[in-house]
């Protein structure tokens, strides 16, 4: 099932691609998301950083920060399966990748039978 928002896609992601650069390190502020879900977030929550993406570009360490409002406003492109998100300085293309995971539950059920 395809995520309906960038927040959903980020919660399932293990790696990101930002502007063609692979980023294994990214931080999603789950505490802020929990406050929003519980209705306890402050009035300034839309401006707070929700997503930070870290990567190494050659020898240069790069860091992008995106507010809750920017993540919520991100637009999905079906054709490329990526998200267009507005940063403080420019627009960025973000793609989420989830690792494949095996499930051994079927094997255990077969062993018990």
- Higher-confidence residue of 107 and 34: namely 34
Is 90 exceeded by the pLDDT of residue 66? yes
Q: Give the CA distances from residue 58 to residues 22, 49, 55, 61, 89, in Å, rounded to whole numbers and listed in that order.
A: 12, 26, 10, 8, 21
Token pair in block for residue 64 = 């992008």
Sheet containing 25-28: order of strands: 25-28, 49-57, 60-67
Is 60 exceeded by the pLDDT of residue 35? yes
Report the percent of the chain where pLDDT is more than 70. 87
Instruction: Find the mean pLDDT for residues 91-97.
Output: 95
Residue 106: per-residue pLDDT: 56
Instruction: For 19-112, list the strands marked E by DSSP.
Output: 21-23, 25-28, 49-57, 60-67, 75-77, 82-86, 91-97
Secondary structure element (H or E) that encloses residue 110, with its range: helix 105-112
* SS3 at position 71: helix
Is 90 exceeded by the pLDDT of residue 1? no
Token pair in block for residue 33 = 């998301």
* SS3 at position 104: coil
């Amino acid at each position: 099932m395809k995520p309906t928002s960038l927040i959903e896609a980020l919660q399932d992601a293990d790696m990101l691609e930002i502007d063609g650069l692979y980023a294994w390190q990214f931080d999603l502020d789950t505490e802020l998301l929990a406050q929003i879900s519980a209705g306890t977030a402050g009035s300034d929550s839309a401006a707070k950083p929700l997503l930070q993406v870290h990567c190494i570009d050659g020898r240069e360490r790069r860091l992008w920060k995106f507010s809750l409002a920017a993540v919520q406003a991100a637009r999905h492109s079906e054709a490329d399966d990526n998200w267009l998100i507005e940063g403080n300085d420019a627009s960025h293309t973000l793609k989420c990748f989830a690792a494949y995971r095996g499930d051994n539950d079927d094997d255990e059920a077969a062993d018990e039978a």
